[in-house]
Chain A
Amino acid sequence: MNTESYKLGEELDSFNYQEVQDGIMAILEKGCNAVLDMTECTYVSSTGLRVLLYTKKVAASKGLKLYLKGVGAEVQDIMSVTGFDSFFDYA
């Protein structure tokens, strides 16, 4: 199964969540697994976490996967604080 990446900037929050969600959805709609490259990302808000949850759910409904890649210490801390640290799949 093909895999495509979407590269995130420094933040995933209420300012860019729709653009990121649309980007991941476009990959899933092509029937590909999606890799969200978070190498440069240092902040994910609760709105951003909803994008990850929503696209993971859509991926699962299509028999696909959403993978997170390059998760740094700041984002890992946010994942830990919110109980999501073992919820997502990592590339």
Chain B
Amino acid sequence: MGGDFYDFFIRDEKLFFCIGDVSGKGVPAALVMATTLSQFRNVTTYEEDLEKIIQSINKATCANNETVIFVTFFVGVLDLQSGQLQYCNAGHNKPFFVSDSITELPAKPDLPLGIDDGVAYVVREHVVPTGSMLFLYTDGLTEAMNAQREQFGRKRLADNLKSSLNCKNQIDEMTQAVHEFVNNAPQSDDLTMLAIKV
């Protein structure tokens, strides 16, 4: 039973999206994932303030979390009219911003969800112009290992990002690249990718 998840929907011409990775496996981790995802859906139906959204999700994830399961979580709200992106990073891998150049979104992570219900998460902003892409992923991609126990890593990831591709083709090409790199080594972790092209 895997620990990766993502979700997205559009409301009032804004794209609400998230991606995350629960630190455990089995039923307890699945319950934490369900709590996190349902809280994301519930809060974002009426709330647009990202700070309030992530604080609410974090409080729900912290409640009754005796086994210290934590969740790395990246959540964003993209205004589809203006291209203005607001986002928070709770211990998740920094997404890549793909335009004329390939860069990681400035997003020094705060603590993952589920550890401290008093964390003040930082809300950051970035403009996402038409034609550019956000590429989000979980650590199963960068930590995919080949038989020599080398990791796929952020550099290979960045080298396989192309601004000319649409979302489906980008994810297909990345999937192929990581499969070729890993070759026949057993997969040790879930791997999730989410591409958003404006």
Report which of B68, B112, B188, B189 forms a contact with A83, defined as CB distance below 8 A: B112
CB distance from A67 to the nearest CB of B (A): 18
Q: Quick one: given A53-B70, A53-B115, A81-B109, are A47 and B24 in contact (CB under 8 Å)?
A: yes
Residue of B nearest to A15 (CB): B188
Q: Quick check: A53 and B72 within 8 Å, CB to CB? A: no
Q: Quick one: given A81-B93, A82-B91, A83-B91, are A50 and B109 in contact (CB under 8 Å)?
A: no
Check B60 for interface membership: any CB of A closer than 8 A.
no
| Residues in A whose Cβ lies below 8 Å from that of B90 | 83
Q: Quick check: B93 and A50 within 8 Å, CB to CB? A: no
CB distance from B61 to the nearest CB of A (A): 14
Q: Quick check: A87 and B111 within 8 Å, CB to CB? A: yes
Q: Quick one: given A53-B68, A53-B115, are A83 and B21 in contact (CB under 8 Å)?
A: no
| Residues in A whose Cβ lies below 8 Å from that of B70 | 46, 49-50, 53
Q: Quick check: A46 and B111 within 8 Å, CB to CB? A: no
CB distance from A80 to the nearest CB of B (A): 8
- Give the interface SS of chain A, mostly helix, strand, loop or mixed: helix
Q: Quick check: A54 and B68 within 8 Å, CB to CB? A: yes
Q: Quick check: B68 and A46 within 8 Å, CB to CB? A: no
Q: Quick check: B23 and A49 within 8 Å, CB to CB? A: yes
Contact residues of B between 52 and 67, Cβ < 8 Å to A: 67
B residues sitting closer than 8 Å to A (CB atoms) are: 21, 23-24, 67-70, 72, 89-94, 108-112, 115, 139, 143, 188-189
